[in-house]
Structure 1
């Protein structure tokens, strides 16, 4: 299977999720967020294609990384290829983060023709940072996101409980229960 990426894979990111991370920057985005951090990734025909097997083979060689991050561009424009990559990461005991300009609800909306492909990818993702970047809500104090409308979602808990479980909320809840 092929995946269109915008640039070579990074192996040492410390800003795209916790710990040392491998990052796959997908090519192609339809959101056109004003002052996007990665505007070079917007062109749907830009970047270049690689075999997903090339990426999964690189995952197998990782030693110091805590996880991988799927960024872009818009990862959910290529859910099948990224599902394969994310599965390999999980098989290698790596956590998987993904960024998307879509909301969690949009990805799973019954009117979305790709919702089953999106669900299959979401089943492999631990943390999803969702929502478009909004310049009017830009905030440099936020961790792992650019604007305050974006949410950091625990995907597996959200799928299990069939409601959005924000990382901050459930961590606070677990701390209270431990007391």
Structure 2
């Protein structure tokens, strides 16, 4: 039985308390989701790999928390790997329709569900490759990764 957006479960690791300038354009609240199947060598968020270690919360509860804590409605969804919970992420960004959403994924852009691409404003995609690490390219960890604006995002 498919759950509706009010009862859909999502597993989170944490919500960054202070806004970040490193995780997309502007001062962004960062949501770290729990669970990753990529296990990139050199990952700086290894504690997010095991989904069972996450905080279990409904999408509606998380959306409510983010509405109260994200002062400027600029949100980056990171991980872990957000696409492991693609249905829940879709429900979340649907509830946060008036937010500026950035999604970080280690997958290729072709693997991001179109329904998610239609609702986000920025996307960082590509696996982290330790041998290609960069500290000078904004918003990415390795030079193979791409940070791009999704020009067709709408605020419906």
Distance 1:59 1:31 in 2: 26
CA RMSD between the two structures: 1.8
Structure 1: which 5+ residue stretches go unaligned?
108-117, 160-179
Given candidates 118, 123, 129, the residue that maps to 1:128 is 123
Q: Which residue of 1 aligns with 2:19?
A: 13
Tell me: CA distance 1:64–1:84, structure 2 relative to 1, closer, same or farther (3 Å).
Answer: same
CA offset digits 1:69-117 (Å, max 9, x no partner): 11000001111111122123333xx21001001010233xxxxxxxxxx
Q: TM-score, normalised by structure 2?
A: 0.84
Superposed CA offset, 1:111-170 (max 9, x none): xxxxxxx2222211111100000111101111111000000122345x9xxxxxxxxxxx
Contact (CA 8 Å) 1:68, 1:89: kept in 2 or not?
no
Structure-2 separation of matches of 1:103 and 1:35: 19
CA distance in 2 between partners of 1:21 and 1:133 (Å): 21
Distance 1:134 1:56 in 2: 32
Higher relative contact order (CA 8 A, sep 6+): 2
More helix by share: 1
1:174 corresponds to which residue?
A: none
The 3 A distance-change label for structure 1 pair 97 and 60 is same
1:45 maps to 2:45: no
Change in CA separation of 1:4 and 1:72 when aligned onto 2, cut-off 3 Å: same
**Separation in structure 2 between the aligned mates of residue 125 and residue 104 of structure 1, nearest angstrom:** 13
| Aligned position for 2:3 | none
Aligned counterpart in structure 2 of residue 76 of structure 1, from 56, 59, 83 = 83
Between structure 1 and structure 2, the one with the greater Rg is 1
The answer to whether the 8 A contact 1:59-1:88 is kept is no
Shift of 1:65: 2.2
Question: What SS class does the counterpart of residue 12 from structure 1 fall into?
Answer: coil
User: How far apart, CA to CA, are the structure 1 residues paired with 2:40 and 2:70?
Assistant: 35
The number of residues matched between the two structures is 145
